[in-house]
């Protein structure tokens, strides 16, 4: 089991995809998004992917965690207020930081990396994770606040 985690971590470091960019093109393991995926009891009943309007409506709730999986330099250029940063390649080593008793909305630049991370988390037993479609690009286009 420990070897598998190290192997996965090594693969993720090598495969860090630049969400919407051209610098890296590898992909995290993909799992088809199950419609009506199981969610924790008492949790919001959201689809596997959610739009920025939905995220804006629920972002202040105590039972919701927004997770940004971009690199620190991207985060510094602009991020959703009160989002938690865990870069994509750090996710396997930091799984214990991702709550299982909250709705977790994952975001990145355009929705690519966040979709990959959501699929990875589902493969690792997380049942209440959702990809924010369009990432920070769509968030800004919709006129929602961005901290810089």
- pLDDT tens digits for 109-129? 999 999 999 999 999 999 999
Average pLDDT over residues 7-32: 39
Cβ(84)–Cβ(117) below 8 Å: no
Closest CA to 119 of 41, 12, 23, 18: 12
- Residue bearing the bigger pLDDT, 64 or 15: 64
Strand order in the sheet with 103-107: 49-50, 129-132, 103-107, 64-68, 84-85
Closest CA to 103 of 28, 34, 25, 45: 45
Give CATH superfamily name and number for 2-141: Rhodanese-like domain (3.40.250.10)
Q: Is the per-residue pLDDT at 23 higher than 90?
A: no
Q: What is the pTM of this model?
A: 0.73
CA atoms of 99 and 102, how far apart (whole Å): 6
Q: Report the DSSP beta bridge partners of residue 80.
A: none
Reported as a pLDDT band with limits 50, 70 and 90, residue 44 is confident
CA atoms of 90 and 98, how far apart (whole Å): 12
Residue 49 dihedral angles phi and psi, to the nearest 5°: -120, 140
- What SS3 state is found at 117? helix
Active-site residues, by number, are 108
CA atoms of 29 and 12, how far apart (whole Å): 9
Average pLDDT over residues 49-62: 96
CA atoms of 107 and 87, how far apart (whole Å): 11
pLDDT given for residue 43 in this prediction? 52
């Amino acid at each position: 089991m420990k070897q598998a985690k190290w192997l996965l971590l090594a693969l993720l470091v090598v495969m860090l995809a630049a969400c919407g960019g051209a610098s890296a093109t590898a992909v995290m393991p993909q799992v088809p998004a199950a419609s009506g995926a199981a969610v924790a009891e008492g949790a919001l009943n959201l689809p596997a992917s959610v739009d920025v309007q939905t995220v804006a409506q629920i972002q202040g709730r105590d039972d919701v965690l927004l997770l940004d999986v971009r690199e620190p330099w991207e985060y510094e250029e602009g991020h959703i207020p009160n989002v938690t940063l865990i870069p994509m390649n750090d996710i396997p080593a930091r799984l214990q930081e991702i709550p299982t008793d909250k709705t977790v909305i994952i975001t990145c630049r355009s929705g690519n990396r966040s979709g990959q991370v959501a699929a990875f988390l589902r493969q690792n037993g997380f049942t209440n994770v959702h990809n924010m479609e369009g990432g920070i690009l769509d968030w800004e286009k919709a006129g929602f606040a961005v901290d810089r």
